Amino acid sequence: MQSDQAVAIGADSANAIEPSVPTVYVEPEPRNEKMELIAPNTPIVEAEVSAMAVEERLPTSATSTPTSVGLVKCSNKAAATTDTTSASAADYHPICQAAAHMEISYNISRLFHDYAQFCDCVPRLCEDQGTCKVQVLRSVGKWSIGTKTECSILNCYLDSIRDSHRFIYIENQFFISSLAGDGTQNKIAEALVERILRAYTQKEVFRVIVIIPLHPNGDFASAMKSKVVMHYEYMTINRCNTSLLNQLKVRAPGINTSDYISFYSLRNWGVINNKIVSDQVYVHDKLMIIDDRILIIGSANINDRSMLGIRDSEVALRIEDTFHIDSMLNEQPHTVGYLPFTIRVKLMRQHLGNPDIGKSKQKQSTSFITLFNLQNDSC
Whether 376 is covered by a domain: the verdict is: no
Residue 124 lies in a domain: no
- Whether 7 shows a pLDDT value over 80: the answer reads no
Q: Which region among 169-183, 211-225, 226-240, 290-304 has the lowest average model confidence (pLDDT)?
A: 211-225
**232/348 same-domain check:** yes
pLDDT in tens, 20-30: 444 444 444 44
Q: Are residues 244 and 215 in the same domain?
A: yes
Q: Is the pLDDT of residue 34 over 80?
A: no
pLDDT for res 297: 97
Q: Predicted confidence band at 324 (pLDDT cuts at 50, 70, 90)?
A: very high
pLDDT for 372 equals 41
Asked if residue 220 belongs to a domain, the reply is yes
For 177, 178, 189, 265, 306, the CA distances from 232, given in Å and listed in that order, are: 8, 10, 12, 17, 15
Domain-embedded: residue 123: no
Q: Cα(323)–Cα(292) distance, rounded to whole angstroms?
A: 12
Q: Which of 56, 91, 118 is the last residue of a domain?
A: 118
Question: Are residues 94 and 242 both part of a single domain?
Answer: no
d(CA 301, CA 313) in angstroms, rounded, equals 11
CATH number where 176 lies: 3.30.870.10
C-alpha 170/C-alpha 209 separation (Å) is 6
Q: What angle do CA 274, 275, 278 make, to 5 degrees?
A: 140
The domain of 352 spans 132-370
Residues 64 and 175 in one domain: no
Residues 177 and 318 in one domain: yes
Where residue 333 falls among pLDDT bands split at 50, 70, 90? confident
Q: Are residues 174 and 33 in the same domain?
A: no
The DSSP code sequence of 236-279 is: HHTSSTTSHHHHHHHHSTT--GGGTEEEE-EEEEEEETTEEEEE
What does pLDDT average to over the chain? 74
pLDDT, tens only, 101-146: 666 666 655 666 666 666 655 455 455 577 899 999 999 998 888 8
80 and 136 assigned to the same domain: no
Domain boundary among the residues 94, 118, 142 is at 118
Q: Are residues 221 and 333 in the same domain?
A: yes
Tens digits of residue pLDDT in 229-276: 999 999 999 999 999 999 999 999 999 999 999 999 999 989 999 999
Give the number of domains in the chain.
2
Q: Is residue 188 part of a domain?
A: yes
Whether 317 is in a domain gets the answer yes
State whether 137 and 103 are in the same domain: no
pLDDT, position 53: 39
Task: Flag whether 378 is in a domain.
Answer: no
Q: Do 150 and 296 belong to one domain?
A: yes
Lowest average pLDDT, out of 13-17, 85-89, 93-97, goes to: 13-17
**If we measure between CA atoms, which residue out of 316, 106, 285, 278 comes closest to residue 211?**
285
The answer on 184 and 280 residing in a single domain is: yes
Residues 67 and 143 placed together within one structural domain of the fold: no
